[in-house]
A and B are shown apart, each in its own frame.
Chain A
Amino acid sequence: MARNKETAVILLDVSPSMHPYLKHVARAASTLVQRKMIFSKYDEVGLVIFGVSEASNELYEELGGYEHVSVLRHIQVVDDDILKILDDLPEGSELGDYLDAIVVGMDMLIKKAGPGKKGNKHIFLITDGESFVKDSAEDETKEDQVDKLAVQLTEHGMKLDAVVMRTKRGPNKSKVRTENEFLLKRFAGRPQVEVAFVDSPTSLLGAIKPRNVTPVTLYRGDLELTPNMTMKVWVYKKVSEERLPTLKKYSDKAPRGVPHASHEVKMDIEYKSTEDPDKTVPPDQRTKAYRYGPQLVPISSVVEDALKLKTEKGVKLIGFTDTTNVSRHYYMKESNIFIPEPGNMKSIVAMSALARAMKELNKVAIVRCVWRQGQSGVVIGVLTPYIPMEENFPVGFYFNILPFMEDAREFPFTSLDTLPSNMQPSVSQQEAADNFVKLFDLAPKDHEERLLPERTLNPILQRWYCYLHNKHMNAGAEVPPLDDALRPVVEPDQELLTENEFIIKRFNNQFTLKVNEEKGKRSSQFWKEKELDENARGEEDSAMDDVSQISFDSLTARRVSEVGSIQPVQDFEAMLARRDSDEWVPKAIREMKKLIVDLLDSAYKGNTYDKSMACLTALRKGCVEQGEPSEFNCLLRDLGNKCCGKRHNDFWDLVLDRRLTLINKDEAPDSDVSEEEALAFLNREGPIKAAEEPVEEEEIDEMEALLGEAV
């Protein structure tokens, strides 16, 4: 339980220059404490502030000095008390000497652990480095002090995490600040010291890693360049997604008032025969089955294990290739890191040579990895060299898994350069976008990179743990709002918006975007918005009418010269709209008539009826508009004779059903048919038979799709 127990001291600078930020400092510290309470509740934490006028620490009492350092809480197991102290952090009025504070912290840790005891000891320091650091009593330079402290840290196996707030920005740094930054950077060269310079509350919160995870290697062994040349490497996870904890189901049936009731819920899964619901099939009588076409193929785990791919543990080089051959978006998973086996000087040198050469040549290595013996799969990945800034850390590689052929889908997308001109940005639009991209900058030169992933806390986790704490205090607590410091993760930073207001406005104004009414909304939100589904269906039915409503622009744009069978209605209307010659109208009508007859001729079980009907409707409309009623009337009579009671009787039923009749005199003066006659034409067969609904294929497909989803 206490294997990873950590003893920590939190050192907070409360000197006057820090006052405006104390709220955020307190947040960062309480985040640290809260997470400890969840993940490592046996950890011990002490709290020290510095920059106060009255000293209270053992060193001051024993030796003198250390005047402005005050211990608010001695090292104790984490609890709510320390959170309460943090909620009401006193403000100091003196300079905050962080070196003094570090010494006090170290002293506390050493005394707590007892002499010579190892164990996880950790110092967290938050300061702004605006206070002057005193010279030592002895004739040591400040650099010497820092180095001495660093050696002490190492000797006692302590880690130091320092967060330095750079509150005053701009080129004119104070002399004190410059000196402090120099000193702190000197610290950072040490393996067990992390110094983070932060500019914003967001990064302040993110700079202290709240959860202490001891990394374990994923692989230790050879990186095989060729069978004759190997290097010893260790592989760790570099990135590992920290998820919301899985909550357990709560049983409200547990006896009340019994303190030891677990309130846990056991889930029982029984497998039952589909035919006989009372028959339960025991585990050893079940077999796993895979789908093969419509069939289920049972493959027992024994057979599967016996036959599956056998792999040998190892990491083998496939080859080197240009960096450009491996795009960033191929990376499939969380990244890993390869480092040379610690202490193995040969591998460290070999890796250093290889990585540097790769960097110079702009190459990456492609490797095949099996992390564990007999692991069921193989992965292919890419190694990218990294070379650390400081010389006392080994050179290594970042590793990312690449997709296999089976994992990729290649859709062709229309090139964005050949889009019609109305979808291309104009020169001024492009210019506005250029400025927007250039200036709406999260990483300007004189500022810390905003939203650096390494310095940005997961807002959901932060909110969740905060909620958990509140709810523990008060069962009726509401979900807390998002921490202010994390707002900029979700919404654009206000400061940045104000700075670039003009640019953003210009970009917004350059484009007019119009939201179109969503046709068939049923698709992606199908399950969410079932009620909309009905509307969509209605819309779809009227889609046929929509086809005929084509704006003038489109008609003139297309120089159609024949009625094709792909989109006959559009072709037909386009031809009618052509004004460059007299021959188009008769030609269009002629071809349309032919097409309708052809469509019906080739119909098989009614598969062309919809189209034929759309054509017929369009032809009727066209004939009315063009004053050619006889053309249509002839055809309709013809069809009536041909279809009615014969092969295409069902089509004729459709015609009658739509009340598509002869064109009468009122509609087109040239017609020789009266309104009565037209009506009579429809009724000539007596009462209309209920047309057999041709089953709509689409619905079937939908059903299939749904069933497919469900299976």
Chain B
Amino acid sequence: MNTSILASWKRRSQRRGAFFSRDSQILRGKMSSFMSYDRDESSLFDDDDEDQERDSLLDADVGRELLIYMIDASPEMFLPFKNEVEDGEEETYFNAVVKAVTKDMKTRIISRDRDEVAICFFNTRVKKNFQESEGVFVFQASDQANQDELCQPTARLIKDFSNISETFDKDIGSKAGVTPGSRENPLYNALWIAQGLLRKGSVKNSSKRILLFTNVDYPFSDADPAFKKDMRRTTVQRARDAQDLGIVIDCFPLSKQDKGFDIGTFYADMVDMSEEEKENFMAIASDRFESMVSQMQKRLFKKRTVRRLTLTVPQGMKLALQSFALFRPATPGTTAWVDSFDNKLLKSERSFLCSDTGALLSEPLQRFQEYKSEKVCFSLNEVAEVRKITETQLQLLGFKPLECLQEYHNLRPSTFLYPDEERITGSTSAFVALYRAMLCYKKYGVAFLGSNCRMVALVAQAEVSNEIGQVEPPGIHMIYLPYSDDIRHIEKMHGSVENTMPQASNEQIEKATAMIKKLDLKDFTYANYSNPALQRHYAILEAVALKEDDFELADPKDDTLPPEEQMQKLAIAQLVKAFKDSVYGPDHDLEEQELATLKAKGSATAQKRKAAEEMAGNDYDKYDWNELADKGKLKDLTISDLKIYLLKHKLQVTGKKDILINRILTQMGKSKEVRIRLKRG
């Protein structure tokens, strides 16, 4: 096997893949509004794992992104623009771009915190850049130290940038750069400066991109005819040189209402597009822009471990695999403790104390387990030794038909396996042969995963693609299986002893069928649902970080709520009603009501408790609880007096007097704190 053929073949497919997959945000389902521009980003440059140098068959091993937002500031950009995303609100092109870029940075700061960015305006009146080139202004946060460096997006940068429209005219100013009689070419200058800014970081472990926003399809229309051709040529050359250095230039053309944007006039040359790509470009590009503006912070790209695994087949054959964590629950990220006075990071120091003597211990090396009222001690090595039952990483044990894999045979998110030809030549063909055989005979492999000491199911997944791209990658999913220790037999817990359970009649099943057909989600995909709690968390974080004045936490749209309006529609409601009447009988609601009233009266104990609460309510005002608490006089009251307070506040009423008083104080103290904090916030 010749590695260099492989390498070149890979590179080619990557390059092609790179272009299309960037535009594949509409990959899953038609609800493209859910798809974010950034989403497919992840698919390209991801996993800045330890495994950086891994040169593998996939396009995912580039660590961070170095990014220049290159924004046209020519007078055309200040024409009014109808922003489709924001309900056709009128604003300038420039403002629309500022919003989009702000959004993009906000997403990046949360999800890809190693990315570095710079913002570079061209066609400006004032110049500010390390080359002192005309018409180019590199925008930086007011507290940024280095003039000609990219930086991680910071709260300050985002805040400064989002307010730029107010001061733009004064500080930067717009000026058409290419004018008759002048040889200045701000676009050329900007490309040159961007390239300079992007010099840091090797192409190998960072990807470099220029995002170019403009609504002028031919930048040189006003140029002196004598220079026109030359300017065009040098600019294209500049852009191509940049691309040769591994910098990707992405155009975000904004169509003008009257004449549109012809990508073919100039920009197609600059970014080296094929005819086919040109045709679809405008539609895709505007989609991308829209989704950039509308997107919430949908994604969090925590580092996802990529591991190497070796699958051992009986009689010793070994296949090299790579494993990918395609699904893992996203979390709000790590937290650290800071001093609440100065927000300085705190470091934690652990110390171990002997419970019996209070003596300070060095890190204890022994562990114990209580067994038959005695303590059995183990050294850490011994504990580790127990887990070592095999040297093999992944041992194939056999195959089973897919029906054997029950719905509940699941412990944690699956892991994706793909062959690793680099490590063991021949792995791919053996992997593909097994994969095809498993698909063909509808079987899955059972294997033992040594590192986790778990049985796993190896389920082959055929490639699924739609017109836009890959929906399911081809490979094998490793599903973690439970042991008998982990499975609970609930099904038989509530069986009936004597009788058979009531069964649905055919008529009832028919009614259910009709209802199910009507409540069908045709293109269901998990990708349409974002985690509302996580979204909320980011909204809070962003608001606090940017100290946004309009601390407006209007509930972000919760995608997970069922479409209740649709469900109330007559056609659906009728079918649901038919099903309900069929299984519950027509008088169900009435019966339930009666039951509810019966329940409301409640049992004897519930009635007693209610009476007590009522009593408490009456007596509550007899005492000034706050005063009693402040003066420490609560202890003078009797237990039954204290219970009045507890009952009123629905707290637990059991325990000794001290405990009751403590409970009251905690309740008061906490509520006080909340009041203060909220006021301050």
Please tell me if the beta carbons of A321 and B522 are within 8 angstroms of each other in the complex: yes
Please indicate which of the listed interface residues B421, B437, B455 has the most CB atoms of chain A within 10 Å of its own CB.
Answer: B437
Contact with B along A451-489 (1 / 0, CB 8 A): 111111111110110011101100100010010000011
Q: Check if A612 is an interface residue, CB within 8 A of chain B.
A: no
CB distance from B585 to the nearest CB of A (A): 8
CB distance from A373 to the nearest CB of B (A): 13
Q: Which residues of B contact A253 (CB under 8 A)?
A: 354, 356-357, 359, 361
Q: Which residues of B contact A294 (CB under 8 A)?
A: 113, 152, 154
CB distance from B56 to the nearest CB of A (A): 10
Please tell me if the beta carbons of B531 and A377 are within 8 angstroms of each other in the complex: yes
Q: Which residues of A contact B512 (CB under 8 A)?
A: 353-354, 356-358
Please tell me if the beta carbons of A286 and B472 are within 8 angstroms of each other in the complex: no
The answer to whether A520 and B361 touch (CB under 8 A), given A288-B335, A429-B429, is no
Q: Check if A132 is an interface residue, CB within 8 A of chain B.
A: no
Q: Check if B92 is an interface residue, CB within 8 A of chain A.
A: no
Task: Enumerate B1-32 residues with CB–CB distance to A below 8 Å.
Answer: 1-2, 4-6, 8-11, 13, 17, 21, 27
Complexed CA–CA distance, A507 and B153 (Å): 54
Complexed CA–CA distance, A571 and B583 (Å): 75
Q: Which residues of B contact A457 (CB under 8 A)?
A: 483-485
CB distance from B618 to the nearest CB of A (A): 28
Residue on B nearest A462 in the bound complex, by CB: B485
The answer to whether A339 and B51 touch (CB under 8 A), given A266-B353, A327-B461, is no
CB distance from A429 to the nearest CB of B (A): 5
Residue on A nearest B297 in the bound complex, by CB: A406
Q: Check if B234 is an interface residue, CB within 8 A of chain A.
A: no
The answer to whether A285 and B423 touch (CB under 8 A), given A300-B677, A328-B405, A440-B314, is no
Please tell me if the beta carbons of B354 and A265 are within 8 angstroms of each other in the complex: yes
Please tell me if the beta carbons of B54 and A411 are within 8 angstroms of each other in the complex: no
CB distance from A9 to the nearest CB of B (A): 20
Q: Which residues of B contact A460 (CB under 8 A)?
A: 386-387, 389, 453
Task: Enumerate B444-492 residues with CB–CB distance to A below 8 Å.
Answer: 445-446, 448, 450, 453, 455, 459, 461, 463, 469-470, 472-475, 477, 479, 481-492
Complexed CA–CA distance, A491 and B372 (Å): 34
Q: Which residues of A contact B389 (CB under 8 A)?
A: 459-460, 463, 482, 490
Contact with A along B526-547 (1 / 0, CB 8 A): 1111111110110011101100
Complexed CA–CA distance, A457 and B427 (Å): 32
The answer to whether A296 and B345 touch (CB under 8 A), given A290-B335, A405-B298, A697-B200, is yes
Residue on B nearest A459 in the bound complex, by CB: B389
Complexed CA–CA distance, A552 and B183 (Å): 50
Please tell me if the beta carbons of A701 and B398 are within 8 angstroms of each other in the complex: no
The answer to whether A363 and B488 touch (CB under 8 A), given A254-B354, A318-B562, A411-B326, is no
- A-B contacts besides A451-B446, A605-B199, 20 pairs, CB < 8 Å: A194-B492, A247-B368, A251-B359, A251-B361, A252-B366, A285-B340, A308-B536, A329-B326, A377-B533, A386-B407, A392-B499, A394-B495, A433-B436, A438-B399, A438-B443, A523-B50, A524-B307, A526-B50, A598-B241, A602-B245
Please tell me if the beta carbons of A266 and B355 are within 8 angstroms of each other in the complex: yes
Please tell me if the beta carbons of A392 and B109 are within 8 angstroms of each other in the complex: no
8 Å CB contact of A308 from B516, B526, B531, B533:
B533
Q: Check if A545 is an interface residue, CB within 8 A of chain B.
A: no
Contact with B along A355-398 (1 / 0, CB 8 A): 01110110100101000000011101000101010111111101
Q: Which residues of B contact A468 (CB under 8 A)?
A: 369, 371, 376
Q: Check if A645 is an interface residue, CB within 8 A of chain B.
A: no
CB distance from A698 to the nearest CB of B (A): 6
Question: 26 pairs across A/B with beta carbons < 8 Å?
Answer: A228-B577, A265-B364, A266-B353, A287-B343, A292-B155, A299-B541, A300-B677, A308-B540, A320-B516, A335-B409, A358-B512, A377-B533, A402-B526, A407-B330, A407-B413, A409-B324, A416-B475, A436-B434, A454-B487, A469-B371, A490-B389, A507-B313, A508-B313, A515-B320, A607-B245, A711-B334
Q: Check if A2 is an interface residue, CB within 8 A of chain B.
A: no
CB distance from A81 to the nearest CB of B (A): 12
Residue on A nearest B20 in the bound complex, by CB: A412
Complexed CA–CA distance, A518 and B51 (Å): 13
Please indicate which of the listed interface residues B113, B334, B408 has the most CB atoms of chain A within 10 Å of its own CB.
Answer: B408
Please tell me if the beta carbons of B433 and A411 are within 8 angstroms of each other in the complex: no
8 Å CB contact of A425 from B317, B382, B432:
B432
Complexed CA–CA distance, A505 and B313 (Å): 10
8 Å CB contact of B483 from A242, A302, A388:
A242
Please tell me if the beta carbons of B398 and A411 are within 8 angstroms of each other in the complex: no
CB distance from A317 to the nearest CB of B (A): 6
Q: Which residues of B contact A604 (CB under 8 A)?
A: 195-196, 199
Task: Enumerate A184-240 residues with CB–CB distance to B below 8 Å.
Answer: 190-192, 194, 206-207, 209-211, 213, 215, 225-229, 236-240
Please tell me if the beta carbons of A353 and B526 are within 8 angstroms of each other in the complex: no
The answer to whether A325 and B488 touch (CB under 8 A), given A409-B42, A413-B470, is no
Q: Which of A271-279, A585-593, A629-637 contacts B (4 or more CB under 8 A)?
A: A271-279
Please tell me if the beta carbons of B484 and A410 are within 8 angstroms of each other in the complex: no
Q: Which of A47-55, A441-449, A650-658, A676-684 contacts B (4 or more CB under 8 A)?
A: A441-449
Residue on A nearest B59 in the bound complex, by CB: A412
Q: Check if B564 is an interface residue, CB within 8 A of chain A.
A: yes
Residue on A nearest B505 in the bound complex, by CB: A353
Q: Check if B338 is an interface residue, CB within 8 A of chain A.
A: yes
Complexed CA–CA distance, A396 and B495 (Å): 12
Please tell me if the beta carbons of A263 and B375 are within 8 angstroms of each other in the complex: yes
Please tell me if the beta carbons of B473 and A550 are within 8 angstroms of each other in the complex: no
8 Å CB contact of B59 from A207, A411, A516:
A411
Q: Which residues of A contact B542 (CB under 8 A)?
A: 292
Please tell me if the beta carbons of B398 and A349 are within 8 angstroms of each other in the complex: no
Please tell me if the beta carbons of A443 and B400 are within 8 angstroms of each other in the complex: yes
The answer to whether A293 and B562 touch (CB under 8 A), given A254-B357, A407-B329, is no
CB distance from A366 to the nearest CB of B (A): 6
The answer to whether A239 and B677 touch (CB under 8 A), given A293-B152, A353-B583, A408-B527, is no
Q: Which residues of B contact A403 (CB under 8 A)?
A: 327, 329, 413, 526
Please tell me if the beta carbons of B495 and A317 are within 8 angstroms of each other in the complex: no
Q: Which residues of B contact A319 (CB under 8 A)?
A: 519-521, 524, 562-563
Q: Which of A103-111, A117-125, A340-348 contacts B (4 or more CB under 8 A)?
A: A340-348
Please tell me if the beta carbons of B314 and A504 are within 8 angstroms of each other in the complex: yes
Please tell me if the beta carbons of B390 and A229 are within 8 angstroms of each other in the complex: no
8 Å CB contact of A497 from B299, B314, B364:
B314
Complexed CA–CA distance, A241 and B409 (Å): 11
CB distance from B349 to the nearest CB of A (A): 5
Please tell me if the beta carbons of A329 and B477 are within 8 angstroms of each other in the complex: yes
Please tell me if the beta carbons of B483 and A339 are within 8 angstroms of each other in the complex: no
Please tell me if the beta carbons of A433 and B583 are within 8 angstroms of each other in the complex: no
Q: Check if B570 is an interface residue, CB within 8 A of chain A.
A: no
Please tell me if the beta carbons of B411 and A442 are within 8 angstroms of each other in the complex: no
Residue on B nearest A514 in the bound complex, by CB: B425
Q: Which residues of A contact B8 (CB under 8 A)?
A: 554, 558, 567, 570
Q: Check if A59 is an interface residue, CB within 8 A of chain B.
A: no
Residue on B nearest A41 in the bound complex, by CB: B372
Q: Which residues of B contact A451 (CB under 8 A)?
A: 397-398, 446, 455
Q: Which of B76-84, B201-209, B621-629 contacts A (4 or more CB under 8 A)?
A: B201-209
8 Å CB contact of B340 from A192, A286, A361, A472:
A286
The answer to whether A239 and B410 touch (CB under 8 A), given A41-B372, A368-B562, A413-B475, is yes
Q: Which residues of A contact B235 (CB under 8 A)?
A: none
Q: Check if A332 is an interface residue, CB within 8 A of chain B.
A: yes
Please tell me if the beta carbons of B485 and A318 are within 8 angstroms of each other in the complex: no
Please tell me if the beta carbons of A332 and B329 are within 8 angstroms of each other in the complex: yes
The answer to whether A440 and B398 touch (CB under 8 A), given A191-B495, A319-B519, A472-B376, is yes
The answer to whether A306 and B499 touch (CB under 8 A), given A274-B346, A414-B58, A524-B307, is no
8 Å CB contact of A507 from B317, B441, B519:
B317
Q: Which residues of A contact B421 (CB under 8 A)?
A: 423
Complexed CA–CA distance, A299 and B187 (Å): 43
Contact with B along A131-154 (1 / 0, CB 8 A): 000000000000000000000001
